[in-house]
């Protein structure tokens, strides 16, 4: 069943857990995620990022309505989220398709401009009655394509979010949840994540809204538990699920494509299940 992030956050808050937001760029991604969520009987989030389209991995017109339809048909609550939207027309296209949640990412903008544009994005979210996530601080390595990581600045503290600024941002914009930078990076890790757990807590307390962890795959289960205990309620997860799918097909030979696609899906399903169990305290 299709739900907004609001319902998902209520579940996460009540149970002191985080919900995985898994990026999808093909049918097998969606199947693997929904099969796991149904097996564990938990809510989940499927997300499509504007960067997937810019990197020619998949386009919204092709996958958007499939995501919404499969979410509607699922036996568990599923939120369909537009991830890292950088322009309002593009975001609105997803909302017209029935997406129930959106992220406006103005983190590359100067602070005041990020506030100004996020306020406009909040108006759009309210018009469609969906939840909105925004971002402050900067995340390194936005490489959601097949090129792997291009940089790793996980320990560059100048990029981390500032609690006072985060509080001001939430007060001025009225966003429902906030993506913050505290030591994870998008893409494949070339050095250990350098997570500042105390900062996560400070950000959650200062803002009073759920904190979103981007660059969520490739982090140890021990670190997941710690960030969740300190206020993370949504964990964005893609690269390591995608790598698992790649590994699942690279060490076998197949006669037909559908057999290869099935093997890839199964390998991703195992990776997703392990992450979901950890996020939801079912491990
Ligand atoms: P990873 O690909 O590093 O798991 O990050 C996903 C993400 O943050 C999407 O917004």
Q: For position 155, what pLDDT does the model report?
A: 56
Domain count across the chain: 1
Per-residue confidence at 191, pLDDT binned at 50, 70, 90? confident
Q: For the residues 29-44, what does the mean pLDDT come to?
A: 98
Range of the domain at 95: 5-279
pLDDT in tens, 81-119: 999 999 999 999 999 999 999 999 999 899 999 999 999
Cβ of 52 closer than 6 Å to ligand 1, yes or no, is no
Per-residue confidence at 188, pLDDT binned at 50, 70, 90? confident
Q: For position 140, what pLDDT does the model report?
A: 61
How many residues are listed for the chain in this entry? 283
Which CATH number characterizes residue 224's domain?
Answer: 3.20.20.70
Q: For position 146, what pLDDT does the model report?
A: 42
Is the distance from CB of 234 to CB of 12 less than 8 angstroms?
A: yes
pLDDT in tens, 113-172: 999 999 999 999 999 999 999 999 877 654 433 444 445 555 567 788 999 999 999 999
Q: For residue 120, how far is its CA from the centre of ligand 1 (angstroms)? A: 25
Which atom of ligand 1 lies at the shortest distance from residue 144's CA? Answer: 2
Annotated catalytic residue: which of 59, 61, 83, 196? 83
Cα–Cα distance, 95 to 81 (Å, whole number): 9
pTM for the full predicted model: 0.94
Cβ of 23 closer than 6 Å to ligand 1, yes or no, is yes
Is the distance from CB of 71 to CB of 78 less than 8 angstroms?
A: yes
Beta 211-213 vs 232-237: how paired, if at all? parallel
Q: How many CB atoms lie within 10 A of CB 269?
A: 22
Residue 272 has pLDDT above 50, yes or no: yes
Q: Considering only CA atoms, which of 73, 78, 57, 142 is closest in space to residue 105? A: 142
SS3 annotation, 46-81: EEEEHHHHHCCCCCHHHHHHHHHHHHHHCCCCEEEE
Q: Considering only CA atoms, which of 148, 221, 140, 134 is closest in space to residue 182? A: 140
Question: Is 271 marked active-site?
Answer: no
Q: For residue 260, how far is its CA from the centre of ligand 1 (angstroms)? A: 24
Q: For residue 98, how far is its CA from the centre of ligand 1 (angstroms)? A: 23
DSSP run (H or E) holding 128: none
């Amino acid at each position: 069943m299709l739900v907004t992030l609001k319902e998902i956050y209520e579940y996460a808050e009540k149970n002191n857990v985080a919900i995985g937001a898994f990026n999808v760029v093909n049918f097998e991604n969606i199947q693997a995620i929904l099969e796991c969520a149904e097996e564990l009987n938990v809510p989940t989030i499927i997300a499509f990022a504007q960067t997937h389209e810019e990197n020619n991995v998949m386009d919204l017109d092709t996958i958007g309505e499939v995501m919404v339809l499969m979410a509607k048909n699922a036996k568990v609550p599923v939120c369909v989220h537009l991830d890292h939207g950088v322009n309002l027309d593009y975001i609105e296209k997803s909302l017209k398709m029935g997406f129930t949640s959106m992220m406006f990412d103005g983190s590359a903008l100067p602070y005041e401009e990020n506030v100004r544009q996020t306020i406009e994005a909040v108006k759009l979210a309210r018009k469609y009655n969906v939840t909105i996530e925004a971002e402050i601080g900067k995340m390194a390595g936005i490489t959601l394509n097949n090129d792997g990581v291009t940089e790793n600045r996980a320990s560059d503290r100048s990029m981390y979010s500032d609690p006072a600024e985060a509080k001001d941002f939430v007060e001025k914009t009225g966003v429902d949840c906030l993506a913050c930078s505290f030591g994870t990076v998008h893409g494949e890790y070339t050095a250990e994540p350098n997570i500042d757990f105390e900062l996560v807590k400070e950000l959650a307390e200062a803002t009073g809204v759920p904190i979103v962890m981007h660059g969520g795959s490739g982090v140890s289960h021990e670190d997941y538990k710690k960030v969740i205990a300190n206020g993370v309620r949504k964990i964005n997860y893609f690269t390591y699920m995608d790598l698992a799918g790649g590994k699942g097909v690279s060490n076998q030979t197949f006669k037909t494509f559908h057999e290869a696609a099935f093997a890839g899906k199964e390998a991703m399903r195992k990776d997703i299940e392990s992450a979901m169990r950890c996020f939801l305290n079912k491990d």
